[in-house]
C-alpha cells in the first residue's frame, strides 16, 4: 500500500529532520507514528502527502513511485494538525471541496456530502461556518472533508491534540471504529503514547529523525528496546546492574541472582504495575518505605523509597489494598518482569 | 455617568477638528453650489439650480465618465501589480517583511508634487528614458511619453500603489499557509488554490485597497494637470479650473458635490458588503 524507502530530509541550514526512514503500511492497516514534539512527524506526513519532497529516498503508493508527484495528484488525503478548515466556506462547502475540484456532478456531490455529514454525526450543521463549531465538530469536518474523496490512504496529524481529555478518549474509539468498518488505511502521527497504543495496529517510534523501535502496541509497551523507548512509552523504573560474580549482580536495591547469563553491566526496566509488595521478607525482596500514595480511580500509585533514598514507582489495583504512607514493606522483584535494555 | 462624560470630553478635539476642517468646508461647498455669480465670478446671494441641470448635459458627462474610466483603470492596474507584490511580502520572513513594507511607504516621505515632477524629467522628450533609448539606438525619434492619458495612468498608479499594497498585505498576511496545503491536498492545482482560497480570503483587502485607490484618484488634479497637459480633462482638474481660471464657483461646487456623493455611495457599498460576509474573519 504505502512504502517509504530510505527517506531523508533536511531543511535549509539545519540538522537533518529525517534520516533514512523506511517503512511499509499494508492495506487496511492503522499505523501510528509516535514521537516527541519536533522529531519530524509532521515532516514525514508531508512527504507522504506530497507537500514536501524528500532530499533522498522514494515514496511508493500501491507500487507506484510518487516521490516527485505534487500533493494534488496523489491518492492521499490529510487531516491537518489544526484541521485547516477553510474559514470562508460552510461545513458543506468545506466537505464538498475535493469533489468540486474533480468536477463531480452537483446532485452526486450533494448526496455524498449528506452521507458524510451523517457518517461523522454532523447532521444539521452543514450550513455553519467553521468558527461556529466546537473543536470536536471541527475535527469531524476535517475528517469528512478528507474521507469524501475516498483516499487510498488517510494521513492524520495529531488529530486529537486540540480536543479536551474526555472528548479525546471518545473520538479515539470512534475513529478506530470508523477505520475498521470502512477498511481504511490510516497513518496517524501523535506525541501521545497512550493514544498511539490505544488506536494503532502497529506503532513506529520516531526519535531524532530515526525509527527507534517498531512493533505492535504491546511489544512496544512490554519489550522496549532502548532507554528512550522505555522512558517514552508508559512509566518505567530503571535499575543498573553490575556483576559481582557469575550470575550474581549488585543493583540499587541490593543483590540479585539471575538464572540466565548476562553482560557484566546493563540497565533493566520494570513497569510500576510489576512492582509487587509483601509484608514479609521473601527471596529477592527488599525493604522499603511507602510514600506519596496517589489515588487514580481503578489504581493507586505509590513511591517506595529504600534506605539509601532510591525511589521506585509502583502501581496497584485500588481494591482490597490497605496501604498507608510511612508503612514499611518489602518490594518483590521477579526476574521475568525485568526488561533488559542494554 | 462620569465615565461617559469623560468619553465625550476625549472625543472633543477630534470632533472639533473634523467639524472645522471637514464638515464646515463641505457645507460651504454645498451652499456655494446653489449660489449664482456675476460676470466677474463674484458670488451672489441668489439661489439657483441651473448648475445642477447642467450636469445632465452630455459635454459634462464625457468628463465625468472619462474620470471614472481612468480611476477604474488606475485601480485595476494597482490591483494587478499590487497583488503579487503584497503576496510576496506576506510570504517572506517577518524581518524582511518589515523592510519591504518600509520600501513601499518611503515615497510618502517626499511631497507627491515633487514626485510627479520627477516623472516629467523621466518622461519628457529630452528625458532620461528617451535619451537612454536613443543612445541605445532602439528608437530614431524621441517618443511622446508625456502629456497623454497613459502618462496620467502611470503617474496615478505610481502614486496610489501603496494604498493598494498595504490593505492587501494586511489581508494576505493573515492567510494561513496550512489552508493552501489543505487545498492542494484535496486536489487543487495552483490556479484553483488562487481562485478558491487566496482570492476569496483576501477579498477584504481587495475591496479596501480598491476604495483607497479609486476614491482619491477621482479627486487628484495635479497629476492629470502635470502629466496629462491640458489634453486630459478629468473631473478633478475640471473642478480645479472652474474655481481658478473660469471663476465659476457655483458650477465647480456642483461638480464637487457630485464627487462627494459618488464617494459616499462607494463607501456605503463597501461597508454594506462587509459585516456579513466576513463574519469568519472576526474569530480567526
Ligand atoms: N518548513 C520548515 N523549515 C525549516 N524547518 C522546519 C520546517 N518544517 C519543520 N521544520 C523543523 O523540522 C523539525 C521537525 O518538525 P516537525 O516535522 O513539524 O515535527 P513534529 O511534527 O514531530 O513536531 C523541527 O525542528 C522544525 O523546526
Ligand atoms: Mg507536528
Contacts of B160 (CB under 8 A, 6+ apart): B74, B78, B212, B213, B216, B217
pLDDT band for position B42 (50/70/90)? confident
Which helix (H) or strand (E) segment holds residue A164: the answer is none
Beta strands in A11-98 (DSSP E): 16-25, 30-34, 56-61, 64-65, 76-79
- What's residue B2's pLDDT? 62
Q: How many A from CA of A191 to the centre of ligand 1? A: 14
Does the CB of A152 have a partner CB in chain B at under 8 Å? Answer: no
Q: How far is A259 from chain B (nearest CA, A)?
A: 56
pLDDT digits (tens, 9 = 90+) for B257-266: 999 998 899 8
pLDDT digits (tens, 9 = 90+) for B96-152: 999 999 999 998 888 888 999 999 999 988 888 889 999 998 888 888 888 888 999
The Cα–Cα gap between B33 and B252 comes to 7
State which residue of chain B sits closest to A142, comparing Cα positions.
B182
DSSP H helical segments within chain A, as ranges?
A: 41-49, 91-101, 106-119, 135-147, 165-181, 193-199, 217-222, 227-232
B196 interaction partners in chain A (CB closer than 8 Å): 97
CATH of the domain spanning B30-283: 1.10.3720.10
Is the C-beta atom of A53 inside 6 A of ligand 1?
Answer: no
Contacts of B101 (CB under 8 A, 6+ apart): B89, B166, B169
Q: What is the pLDDT along chain A (342 residues), one digit of tens a residue?
A: 899 989 999 998 778 999 999 999 999 999 999 999 989 999 999 999 999 999 999 999 998 899 889 999 999 999 999 999 999 999 999 999 999 999 999 999 999 999 999 999 999 999 999 999 998 999 999 999 999 999 999 999 999 888 888 888 888 998 999 999 989 999 999 999 999 999 999 999 999 889 999 999 999 998 888 889 998 988 889 999 999 988 899 999 889 999 988 899 999 999 999 998 888 888 888 999 998 888 888 888 999 999 888 999 999 888 767 788 888 999 999 999 999 887
Does the CB of A49 have a partner CB in chain B at under 8 Å? Answer: yes
Q: Does the pLDDT at position B275 exceed 80?
A: no
- Tell me which residues of chain B have a C-beta less than 8 Å from any C-beta of chain A: 176, 178-179, 181-189, 192, 196-197, 200-201, 279-284
- Interface contact flag, B178 A129, Cβ < 8 Å: no
C-alpha cell at A105: 456532478
Residue nearest to atom 3 of ligand 1 (CA): A11
How far lies A3's CA from each of A25, A26, A32, A273, in Å?
6, 9, 15, 37
B93 interaction partners in chain A (CB closer than 8 Å): none
Contacts of A149 (CB under 8 A, 6+ apart): A77, A98, A99, A102, B186, B187
Nearest residue to B33 (alpha-carbon basis) of B261, B227, B191: B261
Q: 3-state DSSP call for residue A209?
A: coil
pLDDT digits (tens, 9 = 90+) for B247-257: 899 999 999 99
The Cα–Cα gap between A152 and A144 comes to 15
- What's residue B282's pLDDT? 44
- What's residue B231's pLDDT? 67
Residues 259-288, chain A: which have Cβ within 8 Å of B? Answer: none
Q: Does the pLDDT at position B200 exceed 90?
A: yes
- What's residue B1's pLDDT? 54
Q: Do the Cβ atoms of A63 and A143 come closer than 8 Å?
A: no
- What's residue B274's pLDDT? 67
- What's residue A13's pLDDT? 73
State which residue of chain A sits closest to B202, comparing Cα positions.
A88
> What are the residue ranges spanned by the domains of chain B?
30-283
According to DSSP, residue B108 is labeled G
CA geometry: angle at B140 spanning B136 and B146, to 5°?
Answer: 90
- What's residue B61's pLDDT? 87
**Nearest residue, CB atoms, A72 vs list B178, B187, B280:** B187
Q: How do the residues of chain B divide into helix, strand and coil, expressed in percent and rounded to 5? A: 75, 0, 20
- Interface contact flag, A129 B179, Cβ < 8 Å: no
- Averaged pLDDT for residues B2-17: 84
- DSSP-derived pairing of the beta strands B43-44 and B36-37: antiparallel
Does the CB of A81 have a partner CB in chain B at under 8 Å? Answer: yes
Give the whole-number percent of chain B exceeding pLDDT 70.
Answer: 95
State which residue of chain A sits closest to B180, comparing Cα positions.
A84
> In which region does residue B141 sit, left (phi positive, over 0), alpha (psi from -120 to 50) or beta (all else)?
beta
- What's residue B284's pLDDT? 40
- What's residue B43's pLDDT? 87
According to DSSP, residue A138 is labeled H
- This model of the complex carries an ipTM of 0.83
Amino acid at each position: 500500500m504505502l512504502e517509504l524507502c530510505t527517506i531523508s530530509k533536511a531543511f535549509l541550514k539545519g540538522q537533518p529532520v529525517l534520516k533514512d526512514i523506511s517503512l511499509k503500511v499494508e492495506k487496511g492497516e492503522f499505523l501510528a507514528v509516535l514521537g516527541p514534539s519536533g522529531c519530524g512527524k509532521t515532516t514525514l506526513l508531508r512527504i507522504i502527502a506530497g507537500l514536501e519532497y524528500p532530499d533522498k529516498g522514494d515514496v511508493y503508493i500501491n507500487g507506484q513511485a510518487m516521490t516527485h508527484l505534487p500533493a494534488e495528484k496523489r491518492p492521499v488525503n490529510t487531516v491537518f494538525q489544526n484541521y485547516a478548515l477553510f474559514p470562508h466556506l460552510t461545513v458543506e462547502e468545506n466537505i464538498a471541496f475535493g469533489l468540486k475540484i474533480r468536477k463531480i456532478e452537483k446532485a452526486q456531490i450533494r448526496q455524498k456530502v449528506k452521507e458524510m455529514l451523517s457518517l461523522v454525526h454532523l447532521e444539521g450543521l452543514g450550513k455553519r461556518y467553521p468558527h461556529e463549531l466546537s473543536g470536536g465538530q471541527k475535527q469531524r469536518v476535517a475528517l469528512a472533508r478528507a474521507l469524501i474523496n475516498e483516499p487510498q490512504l488517510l494521513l492524520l496529524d495529531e488529530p486529537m491534540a486540540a480536543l479536551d481529555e474526555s472528548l479525546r478518549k471518545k473520538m479515539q474509539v470512534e475513529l478506530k471504529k470508523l477505520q475498521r468498518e470502512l477498511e481504511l488505511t490510516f497513518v496517524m502521527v501523535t506525541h501521545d503514547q497512550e493514544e498511539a497504543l490505544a488506536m494503532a495496529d502497529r506503532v513506529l517510534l520516531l526519535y531524532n529523525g530515526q525509527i527507534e523501535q517498531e512493533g505492535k502496541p504491546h511489544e512496544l509497551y512490554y519489550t522496549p528496546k532502548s532507554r528512550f523507548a522505555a522512558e517514552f512509552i508508559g512509566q518505567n523504573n530503571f535499575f543498573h546492574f553490575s556483576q559481582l560474580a557469575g550470575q550474581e549482580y549488585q543493583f540499587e536495591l541490593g543483590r540479585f541472582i539471575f538464572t540466565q547469563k548476562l553482560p557484566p553491566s546493563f540497565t533493566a526496566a520494570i513497569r510500576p504495575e510489576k512492582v509487587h509488595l509483601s509484608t514479609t521478607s521473601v527471596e529477592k525482596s527488599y525493604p522499603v518505605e511507602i510514600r506519596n500514595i496517589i489515588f487514580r480511580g481503578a489504581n493507586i500509585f505509590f513511591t517506595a523509597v529504600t534506605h539509601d533514598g532510591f525511589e521506585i514507582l509502583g502501581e496497584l489495583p485500588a481494591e482490597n489494598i490497605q496501604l498507608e504512607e510511612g508503612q514499611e514493606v518489602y518490594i518483590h522483584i521477579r526476574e521475568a518482569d525485568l526488561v533488559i535494555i542494554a | 455617568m462620569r465615565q461617559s462624560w469623560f468619553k465625550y470630553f476625549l472625543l472633543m478635539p477630534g470632533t472639533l477638528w473634523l467639524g472645522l476642517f471637514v464638515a464646515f468646508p463641505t457645507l460651504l461647498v454645498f451652499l456655494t453650489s446653489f449660489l449664482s455669480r456675476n460676470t466677474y465670478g463674484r458670488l451672489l446671494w441668489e439661489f439657483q439650480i441651473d448648475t445642477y441641470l447642467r450636469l445632465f448635459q452630455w459635454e459634462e458627462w464625457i468628463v465625468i465618465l472619462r474620470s471614472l474610466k481612468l480611476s477604474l483603470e488606475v485601480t485595476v492596474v494597482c490591483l494587478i501589480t499590487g497583488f503579487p507584490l503584497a503576496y510576496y511580502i506576506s510570504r517572506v520572513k517577518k524581518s524582511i517583511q518589515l523592510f519591504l513594507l518600509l520600501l513601499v511607504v518611503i515615497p510618502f516621505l517626499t511631497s507627491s508634487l515633487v514626485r510627479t515632477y520627477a516623472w516629467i524629467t523621466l518622461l519628457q522628450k529630452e528625458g532620461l528614458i528617451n535619451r537612454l533609448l536613443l543612445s541605445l539606438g532602439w528608437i530614431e525619434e524621441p517618443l511622446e511619453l508625456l502629456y497623454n492619458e497613459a502618462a496620467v495612468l502611470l503617474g496615478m498608479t505610481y502614486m496610489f500603489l501603496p494604498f493598494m499594497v498595504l490593505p492587501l498585505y494586511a489581508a494576505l498576511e493573515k492567510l494561513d499557509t496550512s489552508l493552501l496545503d489543505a487545498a492542494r491536498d484535496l486536489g487543487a492545482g495552483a490556479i484553483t488554490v488562487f481562485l478558491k482560497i487566496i482570492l476569496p480570503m483576501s477579498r477584504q483587502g481587495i475591496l479596501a485597497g480598491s476604495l483607497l485607490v479609486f476614491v482619491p484618484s477621482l479627486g487628484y488634479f495635479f497629476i492629470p494637470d502635470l502629466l496629462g497637459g491640458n489634453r486630459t480633462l478629468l473631473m478633478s482638474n475640471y473642478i480645479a479650473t472652474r474655481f481658478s481660471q473660469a471663476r465659476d464657483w457655483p458650477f465647480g461646487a456642483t461638480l464637487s458635490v457630485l464627487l462627494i456623493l459618488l464617494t459616499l455611495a462607494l463607501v456605503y457599498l463597501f461597508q454594506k458588503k462587509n459585516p456579513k460576509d466576513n463574519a469568519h474573519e472576526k474569530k480567526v
